[in-house]
């Protein structure tokens, strides 16, 4: 009488094939979710920076002199997927921009650059959802 002591090689190969197929299907969805979360966190950083700029303006009556350093804000998001840029146009105008790094830009192609101005004008519109 013969006793089965484990799995046959063909059974193991079939199971490994199924796992590989499931992983291949799940990975792009997972990366898309991570990219969306990174954009959401970056938008929070952008709005927090805008709030800090408005506080600076209320104290100095101008945006001149405001930098990311004077506002104590990092130019890179926590997850390193976006660079934050501040452009002071004149005493009462600024433009904040988020630039996606290459990894983020690969998965979030429509939102490589996200902007907001002191007037609250946001672009591109579809990135703010």
**Burial group, residue 114, by CB count within 10 angstroms (0-12, 13-18, 19+):** buried
Distances (CA, A) of 63 to 15, 36, 53, 57, 90: 62, 31, 7, 6, 7
Which run of H or of E encompasses 26? helix 9-60
Cβ neighbors of 101 (< 8 A, separation 6 or more) are: 80, 81, 82, 83
For every one of its 129 residues, what pLDDT tens digit does the chain have, with 9 covering 90 and above? 566 677 888 989 999 999 988 888 877 677 888 888 999 999 999 999 999 999 999 999 999 999 999 999 999 988 899 999 999 999 899 999 999 998 888 888 888 999 999 999 999 988 887
Q: What is the pLDDT of residue 124?
A: 92
Q: What angle do CA 69, 74, 79 make, to 5 degrees?
A: 175
Q: What is the pLDDT of residue 103?
A: 83
Q: What is the pLDDT of residue 84?
A: 95
DSSP assigned state of 126: G
**What CA–CA distance (Å, rounded) separates 58 from 93?**
13
**What CA–CA distance (Å, rounded) separates 103 from 112?**
10
Q: What is the pLDDT of residue 3?
A: 65
Bridge partner residues of 38 (DSSP): none
Domain ranges, ordered by start, for the chain: 9-128
User: What pTM value is reported for the model?
Assistant: 0.75
């Amino acid at each position: 009488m013969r006793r089965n002591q484990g799995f046959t090689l063909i059974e193991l190969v079939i199971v490994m094939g199924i796992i590989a197929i499931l992983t291949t299907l799940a990975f792009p969805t997972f990366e898309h979710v991570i990219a969306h979360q990174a954009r959401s966190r970056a938008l929070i950083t952008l709005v927090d920076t805008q709030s800090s700029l408005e506080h600076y303006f209320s104290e100095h009556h101008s945006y001149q002199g405001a930098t990311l350093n004077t506002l104590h804000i990092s130019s890179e998001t926590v997850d390193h997927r976006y660079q934050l840029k501040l452009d002071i146009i004149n005493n009462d105008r600024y433009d904040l921009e988020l630039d996606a790094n290459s990894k983020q830009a690969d998965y979030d192609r429509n939102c490589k650059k996200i902007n907001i101005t002191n007037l609250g004008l946001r672009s591109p519109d579809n990135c703010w959802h």
